[in-house]
Amino acid sequence: MAEKDNSIFIGNKAFMNYVTAVVMQFTTKNAEEVLIKARGKFIARAVDVAEIACKRFLENTVKVKDVKIDSEDFQNKEGKDVRVSIIEIILTKA
């Protein structure tokens, strides 16, 4: 199922890498939907990627289908309980 994985996880690479990855999923890979995921401080960036991809590069062809937020609890290296927020943005062909 690897070739059907249309998820893009946002981190600290150059911003346009992510925008290009989204655009290519819809164009060269002909995806119907793309899932953009991010955690913590990268959440704002995920929204930027989705907005730039939809409004500047894929205008009138791709739109935001759904946005979900959630959070996870986990233990960090020091054994302390930490909570981190998560966003998932689903883009779909318009």
Position 67 contacts its own copies (CB under 8 A): yes
Burial class (CB in 10 A: 0-12, 13-18, 19+), 18: buried
**DSSP string over 1-53:** -GGG--EEE--SS-HHHHHHHHHHHHTTS--SEEEEEEEGGGHHHHHHHHHHI
Position 58 contacts its own copies (CB under 8 A): no
Position 33 contacts its own copies (CB under 8 A): no
4 vs 83, beta carbon nearer its own copies: 83
Q: Of the ranges 4-12, 16-24, 26-34, 67-75, which one interacts with its own copies (CB under 8 A)?
A: 67-75
Q: Of the ranges 5-13, 21-29, 34-42, 74-82, which one interacts with its own copies (CB under 8 A)?
A: 34-42
The binding site for its own copies (CB under 8 A) comprises 40-44, 47-48, 50-52, 55, 64, 67-71, 83, 85-87, 89
